[in-house]
Amino acid sequence: MRMNMEWRHAVVRTAEEVAVGVRLVEFDVEGPLAPFDPGSHTHIAVTIDGARAIRTYTCVPAPANRIAIAVKLHPNSRGGSRFVWSLKPGSTVELTVPENRFELSWRADRYLLIAGGIGVTPIYGMAQRLAAAGQDLRMIYGGVSRAVMPFVDELGGLLGERIELFPADEGRSFDLAAEIAALPKDGEAYVCGPLGLLEAVKTLWRVSGRPVSRLRYEVFGDNGRYAETSFEVSVLNRGVTITVPPDQSLLNALIGAGVEMIYDCQRGECGLCAVRIVETDSDVDHRDVFFDEDEKNENHRMCACVSRLTGGSAVIDIGYRTE
Ligand code: FES
């Protein structure tokens, strides 16, 4: 079951590839749409193998009364990106009014915006809004190559010398320690990118002694340390054993098997979907930002929406949440 959301009917206005492997889809939304902040996301009802599922996407800048998303086609797509890539002008979808859990504070002396790959989607809107408000900011944006990095031209035009690109194929990589050290005491950092980038920033931020409240971040829900493989899960006292294929989340596999689950973000952020690991013969690829490093190392719980086993099997318990 999900938290309350306001669903709307929407029609695809445009759908185009704006970087290699990244599709920008803009929707006309039925009914008036209140302005929303950068960092907001929308849930979209997608169809995967004939079944309805919900996927969450960050909203990128779009004209009034429209919602735009930029979606990378994931090689091991759990179906969401495949669905979005199948959309054409005139296609209809159901989506939710944007809501925000990755907000700008508007209290910093200076903003450091850090984007890795498709993690640029919330950062793009933040850069646009901060620049328009005359705020002091620097953006660093990394990716495999310029060709796969969306919105490079738009951001360059917007920020000029305030943005620096770090395409890996040009031998460029972030010096995160130096970037953080250059921030004034009341500076803030906003990060979105792969899990490894977030963990590096979090560690350096902690080492720098800066307040954790001045670092805000968001992670992709489909990004882990290991490639996706099949694994088996038995649910304690439920008589349910399932095989989770590489292209499906544990959460969706459990729901598909009729297990009543509580969840919301499906991005590893809220922790509502967490299950207890009773025993396992496998490593856990923790892909969430809900548990801290110690909790992840204990392997006592995992977020079913994004985290996976690296193979093998586990017995999990979902009962502790309803007792
Ligand atoms: S549903 Fe929010 S962490 Fe899984």
282-322 pLDDT, tens digit per residue, is 999 998 888 888 899 999 999 999 899 999 999 999 975 54
> Do 17 and 63 fall into the same domain?
yes
**Considering the domain boundaries, does residue 295 fall inside one?**
yes
H or E stretch covering 208: helix 195-208
> Residues 66, 125: one domain?
no
User: pTM of the prediction?
Assistant: 0.79
End-of-domain residue from the set 66, 100, 134: 100
Domain boundary among 100, 121, 137: 100
Same domain flag for 117 and 215: yes
Residue 26 CB less than 6 A away from ligand 1: no
- Assess whether 117 and 212 both reside in one domain: yes
**1 lies in a domain?**
no
**In this predicted structure, what is the pLDDT of residue 223?**
62
Question: Quick one: which atom of ligand 1 is closest to the CA of 273?
Answer: 4
Query: Quick check: CB of 188 below 6 Å from ligand 1?
Result: no
Assign residue 183 the CATH number of its domain: 3.40.50.80
Q: Are residues 80 and 118 in the same domain?
A: no
* Percent over 90 (pLDDT), the chain: 70
Beta strands in the chain (DSSP E): 7-19, 22-29, 40-48, 51-60, 66-72, 92-96, 99-100, 111-116, 137-143, 163-167, 188-193, 215-219, 231-235, 240-244, 274-280, 284-285, 301-303, 308-309, 313-317
- The whole-angstrom separation of Cα 219 and Cα 193 is 6
Q: Judge if 47 and 68 occupy the same domain.
A: yes
Q: Say which CATH number the domain at 70 has.
A: 2.40.30.10
Is residue 225 domain-resident? no
Q: Tell me the best of 223, 264, 289, 318 to mutate to test the pocket of ligand 1, counting ligand atoms within 8 Å of each CB and taking the most.
A: 264
- Comparing 55 with 157, which gets the higher pLDDT? 157
Task: Note whether residue 168 is domain-resident.
Answer: yes
The domain of 57 spans 7-100
C-beta 266 within 6 A of ligand 1: yes
Give me the pLDDT at residue 71, please.
Answer: 94
Residues 214 and 124 in one domain: yes
224 lines ligand 1 (CB under 6 A): no
Looking at the fold, whether 76 and 129 belong to one and the same domain comes out as no
Same domain, 52 and 88: yes
Q: What are phi and psi of 270, to 5 degrees?
A: -90, -25
State whether 123 and 52 are in the same domain: no
The CATH number given to whatever domain includes residue 304 is 3.10.20.30
Q: Which residue, 149, 184, 219, sits at the end of a domain?
A: 219
What the block records as the tokens of 229 is 């493989």
Ligand 1 contacts CB of residue 288 (under 6 A):
yes
Cα(134)–Cα(145) distance, integer angstroms: 30
Segment among 15-19, 70-74, 77-81, 183-187 with least mean pLDDT: 77-81
Report how many domains make up the chain.
3
263 pocket-lining for ligand 1 (C-beta < 6 Å): yes
d(CA 184, CA 301): 37
Are residues 96 and 118 both part of a single domain? no
Mutation pick for ligand 1 pocket among 3, 220, 255, 270 (CB with most ligand atoms within 8 Å): 270
Same domain flag for 167 and 201: yes
- Sheet with 188-193, edge to edge strand ranges: 163-167, 137-143, 111-116, 188-193, 215-219
Q: Given the CA of residue 270, which atom of ligand 1 is nearest to it?
A: 2
99 SS3 class: strand
